[in-house]
Structure 1
Amino acid sequence: MNTDIKISVRDCFKVFGPNPKSVMPLVRAGISKCELLEKHGHITGLKDINVEMRSGEITVIMGLSGSGKSTLIRHLNGLIVPTAGEILIDGKDITTLSGRALLQFRRSSVSMVFQNFALMPHLTVLENVGLPKKVCGQPKEVMHREARRWIERLGLSGFENRYPHQLSGGMQQRVGIARALTSDASVLLMDEAFSALDPLTRADMQDLLIELQRELFKTIVFITHDLEEALKIADHIVILKDGMIIQQGDPQNIILAPSDEYIERFVNDINRARVLRVESIMRRGAPVSGQSLETIDASETLEAAMLKAQGDPSKIFTVLDGGIVVGELDMREVIRAMVPRNLRGRKQKASEDKAVGQSRSVVQSATT
């Protein structure tokens, strides 16, 4: 894992209203969002945000409507200035930038992909994709060369002379991503980028993003309210509520160890078999059971483990990572991991029986 910190948000507060700094002592003291609005006419957008985003990773910021996720991402390109706190990108506090310096930062360091595509309707695909180079004053031949490179990579060849209204939603979003990549910015901000797409197209775009990230190692900040989308693409998840971070960390750990009831509600309804991986629940170290003759890769999902075990809850596997033994997987632990934490205890037996049934259903579905 790359340990270089690309973006660091430190003690960040954002208060909206006529005189935000005047109410900051109240906000720091813990006044509620409702009380601040009712008694003082100000709104808390963000409260004491501390996040570190690593270079070359995808950080997903999620939460319900009004949680502050879009407010946070707009701080990262200087569209919003915090009431208090620092936002460091490559070690430089962008809250101190203004005028030409801020404009240059936006042109060269960060690029954004929007939910509604935000394409120029009067420009062709080629012109839309090449726009970042044109804005930077690059010659027309450079603009077209770079635009065509990303048009080809995003599967848009043959559509260079089409206009946005002549494209499907998925193709329009491909244009938006190609345009963002043409800027050569190291940070890519994506605000609900796939939420306007139909489910199949959305899944395709998620796969494309993962594929591009393996090639390009951009630092991506992705906003969504969809937990399954977050779990699919994220290296690091930050969950907001009322402008505050409720939990952040590795996606697998958030599922297995939600910090409170709010996070538990978030994770309860997901298909745990499809998102949890073997490495998250295996016993690390050399196998000790003496039964684990068959092997399974650490990156496999629990669904894959169920299929390989043929629904047998007593099965034990040796876990490999790059061909090296790293641990042991007991299918009984798979069954336990399928049970949300808040259902454990007196409901656990029934929940585990249900998980065993799900395991057998996975096998039956795969063989029919």
Structure 2
Amino acid sequence: MSKIEVRNIYKIFGPQPQKWMKDVQGGMSKEELLSRSGHTLGLRDISLSIEEGSIFVVMGLSGSGKSTLIRHFNRLIEPSGGQILVDGVDVVSMSPRDLETFRQRKMSMVFQRFGLFPHHTVLENAAYGLAVQGVDRAVREEKARHWLDQVGLNGFESQYPHQLSGGMQQRVGLARALATDAEILLMDEAFSALDPLIRREMQDQLLRLQAKLNKTIVFITHDLDEALRLGNRIAILKDGELIQEGTPEDILLNPANDYVQAFLQDVNRSRVLNAAHAVRDEPRFTLTMRSRPQHALERLQSLRYDYAPVLDGKRLAGVLTLSSVQQAIRESARDVSAYVEDIASVPATTGLDEVLGRLLRSDQPLAVTGEQEEFIGWLSRRKVVELVVPPVVEPEVVADSGEDVKPVAETVS
């Protein structure tokens, strides 16, 4: 079920946006709009569907429009055209009073630079959203203490922001957002100001909390590793336009263009993709424990296979080799059950980083199985390599809005 529906959102910055809407809708470029009108194109025809209880990541380089987009959700920025529906209600058409209530109770926001009040204690900062709602002091402080404890800040209630590290300050911001019990969290570059180790800890914290709370989270980042780690779905923006939207696997396996592909070059793909993505493309052929030896031999020879998986019901029982089935025929066996050999296997959800380790330790076939130990396919060593080491894209294709882009690595770290 969709929690947020973004329908054909346009944003033109300038004194007369409506005057230029038809030109932008007709395809006028960002550069031409600026040169002819002095207006800036922020967003062009963005449509998205964000599922309830998911983490939806919006990413792109500086100037791509990602922060502009998220601020439309609670109308901190007014759209030039389009709709934002939350639980079926159009936020764009809300009255000022309804919008104020909506912001206080439906959505909370976590900012990049923490947004804490320096003269308030940690407890007061965490309780601030509830104070705005008019919640009784004892109640709001009780809730604030609970959420400070949930983010690992128990005992720091009387401290002031300047006495905390950057990571701890961001935890206060997260506790403040959670304390209002809002259904939707908007997180705008929430972890980008933190050093890498603290950033990783905050990502872990967010994932642990999400597993318990099942909030709808819209997370803005320019870091693809972070996007792939957190997102159930990812939208990639460039110059105010949506370039690609899909699951992390969709984007890694089927990048829409060179711009997206360039983002992927430095990603450790082996931590995102799994064994199911590396199953061989060959037709799926299986035998059963009751297969007749002569029939099994004919099938193996016709397909020019040296072995085949054998199923016991849906479960993978093992493998039947060409030599084993020939022995079964010589011994006049009624079926192949006594000639099935053990075979190594990995669950479909096994990350390619672990699969790579298995492949390095053995040159034997490796089967991929599902949740009920059913056979999915054979692992393809060639495909594993192709997935882990993507083709190289020239770095200049990602130049965007004057932001420096580091050279693209040829291999995955």
- TM-score when normalising by structure 1: 0.88
CA distance in 1, matches of 2:221, 2:137: 36
5 Å-filtered alignment, 1:293-312, equals 293-312=343-362
Residues 236 and 250 in structure 1, CA contact (< 8 A), matched pair in contact too: yes
1:132 is matched with: 129
CA distance in 1, matches of 2:373, 2:157: 45
Q: CA deviation at 1:341?
A: 4.7
CA distance in 2, matches of 1:142, 1:66: 42
CA distance in 1, matches of 2:239, 2:363: 42
Structure 2 unaligned blocks of 5 or more: 287-307, 310-318, 320-341, 394-409
CA distance in 2, matches of 1:106, 1:260: 37
5 Å-filtered alignment, 1:205-244, equals 205-244=202-241
Q: CA deviation at 1:315?
A: 3.5
The superposition leaves residues 19-40 of structure 1 with CA deviations (integer Å, 9 ceiling, x where unpaired) of 1001011001111101100111
Please state if 1:9 is matched with 2:6. Answer: yes
2:367 is matched with: 317
Q: CA deviation at 1:132?
A: 1.4
CA distance in 1, matches of 2:233, 2:363: 31
Structure 1 unaligned blocks of 5 or more: 344-353, 363-368
CA distance in 1, matches of 2:356, 2:116: 45
CA distance in 2, matches of 1:340, 1:311: 23
CA distance in 1, matches of 2:241, 2:35: 19
Taking a change above 3 Å as real, the CA distance of residues 77 and 322 of structure 1, as seen in their structure-2 partners, is farther
1:117 is matched with: 114
Of 283-292 and 319-328, the range deviating more from structure 2 = 283-292
CA distance in 2, matches of 1:322, 1:58: 28
Which secondary structure does the structure 1 equivalent of 2:357 belong to? helix
Residues 78 and 95 in structure 1, CA contact (< 8 A), matched pair in contact too: yes
One of 38, 58, 61 as aligned partner of 2:55: 58
Which secondary structure does the structure 2 equivalent of 1:30 belong to? coil
The superposition leaves residues 12-71 of structure 1 with CA deviations (integer Å, 9 ceiling, x where unpaired) of 100011110010110011111011001111111000001000000011000010000000
CA distance in 2, matches of 1:337, 1:25: 43
Please state if 1:171 is matched with 2:168. Answer: yes
Residues 256 and 341 in structure 1, CA contact (< 8 A), matched pair in contact too: no
Please state if 1:37 is matched with 2:55. Answer: no
2:264 is matched with: 267
Q: CA deviation at 1:326?
A: 4.5
- TM-score when normalising by structure 2: 0.79
CA distance in 1, matches of 2:194, 2:263: 22
The size of the alignment, in residue pairs, is: 344
